[in-house]
Amino acid sequence: MNIIEGGVCAAKGFLANGIHCGIRKNKEKKDLALIYSKAKANAASVYTTNKVKGAPLTVTKNNISDGYAQAVICNSGNANTCNANGIEIAEKMCELLASELKIDKSDVVVASTGVIGQPLDITPIRDGIGALVNGLSSENSKLAAEGIMTTDTRLKELSLSFEIGGKECKIGGIAKGSGMIHPNMATMLVFITTDCNISTAMLQKALSTDIQNTFNMVSVDGDTSTNDMVTILANGMAGNEEITSEGEDFDKFMKALNTLTVYLCRKIAGDGEGATKLLECEVDGAKDEENAKIIAKSVICSSLVKSAMFGSDANWGRVLCAIGYSGAQVDVNKVFVSFKSEKGEISVCENGAGVDFSEEKAKEILLQDEITIKIVLGDGNARATAWGCDLTYDYVKINGDYRT
């Protein structure tokens, strides 16, 4: 498996583009993105479990109920959520794009991200569709990635090549996500493309399985968005024998997908609103995987832990506290905790009690941009990893006037 250039355009037959059409006031920021497959693709998606859902999710779920899609259109700046005409607007976006691309409107995945509860005017989208389609290129993955960003400060994109049945396959993805991230099914907006030949059923199985240990293990602020969706399109143009069941080929595809999604998880967590550090919590020695996940997410979601990491303070008691209230089955008298970064690793807790350690060394370790909180439980052999970020003053500044 190799990292390659191209993002969502790395796989054969995929084109992309991103433009500013006028939804956002800042003309320097793109607000409309498009991904297009030259051939109809098998499609799979997972969605937020928030009962308040953006209209585009309802339309997309209906459109790809037959297992196919050929294009993805996404606007930023307005979530098209809690609007009386939201479904109408989302369907109109599909109609406009389908007419321009000369495809069926039911083969369009539609997504929106931005402010909730503000009407979305179709006019700038309608006026921009022509330029969006005319600019489609195999070189424009980055433009599409920019078009889906809201409070993101960094573009999130990766592509890989791998081999199945003697054929080179490629997979790529773009993501947006900076705040309102605390998933329970999917998270943020993530669009993945591949030319691997894999059936819709196995594509859905791969995605639904993978997110349990990747996107479901990311939290920035404890809020589950209304518009979260992860979608993958597989057009089969790599020419490998179709994957229709579990086995060696499916395992290879799963490995490639997981490599991509873990990378995007880390990028999303590290770019949390106002964040200065990526936090990774590794839990080992749990009774079972479920308990390991509960503990990892509890620690990564703790406002006190996040604040301590912002201040580079080795306040390990807050980690123990988060473990204790997590609801997981754990013997707190067996817990070991250490902090790790590129500057080294330091043990701060053994058998549930503090140990002598150098505050200076701990500070040096915690001043880095990427911090790992390592927890060993001694209750079994299960493990899990969760990703998050520190909690800074800027998070409040960003969200204090997000709408206005």
Phi then psi dihedrals of residue 99, to 5 deg:
-65, -40
The domain that holds 288 is classified in CATH as: 3.10.20.340
What token pair was written down for 313? Answer: 């303070």
- If asked whether residues 159 and 183 sit together in one domain, one would say yes
The CB-based long-range contact list for 333-339 (8 Å cut-off, 24+ gap) reads: 334/285, 334/377, 334/378, 334/379, 335/375, 335/376, 335/377, 335/378, 336/374, 336/375, 336/376, 336/377, 336/378, 337/373, 337/374, 337/375, 338/374, 339/314, 339/365, 339/366, 339/371, 339/372, 339/373, 339/374
**What's the longest Cα–Cα distance across the chain?**
69
Q: pLDDT tens digits, residue range 157-205?
A: 999 999 999 999 999 999 998 776 676 655 589 999 999 999 999 999 9
At 341, the amino acid letter reads S
- If asked whether residues 207 and 310 sit together in one domain, one would say no
What token pair was written down for 153? Answer: 């400060």
What token pair was written down for 172? Answer: 């790529």
Domain boundary among 270, 292, 307: 270
Consecutive H or E run containing 280: strand 278-286
The answer for 47, left when phi > 0, alpha when psi is -120 to 50, beta otherwise, is beta
The catalytic position among 60, 187, 194, 226 is: 187
Region 61-80: what's the mean pLDDT? 97
- If asked whether residues 348 and 255 sit together in one domain, one would say no
Phi then psi dihedrals of residue 335, to 5 deg:
-75, 135
pLDDT for residue 231 is more than 70 = yes
- CA 127 from chain center: how many Å? 30
Question: In whole angstroms, how far apart are CA 390 and each of 164, 229, 276, 393?
Answer: 40, 24, 7, 10
Provide the 3-class DSSP secondary structure of residue 353. Answer: strand
Domain boundary among 252, 270, 288: 270
Q: pLDDT tens digits, residue range 100-155?
A: 999 999 999 999 999 999 999 999 999 999 999 999 999 999 999 999 999 889 99
Angle at 80 between CA 274 and CA 297, to 5 degrees: 40
Phi then psi dihedrals of residue 113, to 5 deg:
-150, 145
- If asked whether residues 100 and 239 sit together in one domain, one would say yes
**187 among known catalytic residues:** yes
- If asked whether residues 221 and 287 sit together in one domain, one would say no
Contacts of 101 (CB under 8 A, 6+ apart): 36, 70, 71, 133
CB 265 within 8 A of CB 257: no
The domain that holds 8 is classified in CATH as: 3.60.70.12
Top pLDDT among 240 and 398 is at 240
Q: pLDDT tens digits, residue range 264-319?
A: 999 999 988 889 999 999 999 999 999 999 999 999 999 999 999 999 999 999 99
- If asked whether residues 174 and 204 sit together in one domain, one would say yes
- If asked whether residues 201 and 304 sit together in one domain, one would say no
What percentage of the chain carries pLDDT values higher than 70? 98
Domain boundary among 238, 270, 302: 270
- As to burial, measured by CB atoms within 10 angstroms (0-12 exposed, 13-18 middle, 19+ buried), residue 352 is middle
CB 105 within 8 A of CB 68: no
- If asked whether residues 294 and 386 sit together in one domain, one would say yes
- As to burial, measured by CB atoms within 10 angstroms (0-12 exposed, 13-18 middle, 19+ buried), residue 353 is exposed
Quote the pLDDT of residue 187: 54
- If asked whether residues 112 and 243 sit together in one domain, one would say yes
Range of the domain at 119: 2-270
Count: domains in the chain: 2
pTM for the whole structure: 0.91
- If asked whether residues 339 and 359 sit together in one domain, one would say yes
Contacts of 87 (CB under 8 A, 6+ apart): 55, 58, 59
- If asked whether residues 253 and 288 sit together in one domain, one would say no
- If asked whether residues 247 and 320 sit together in one domain, one would say no
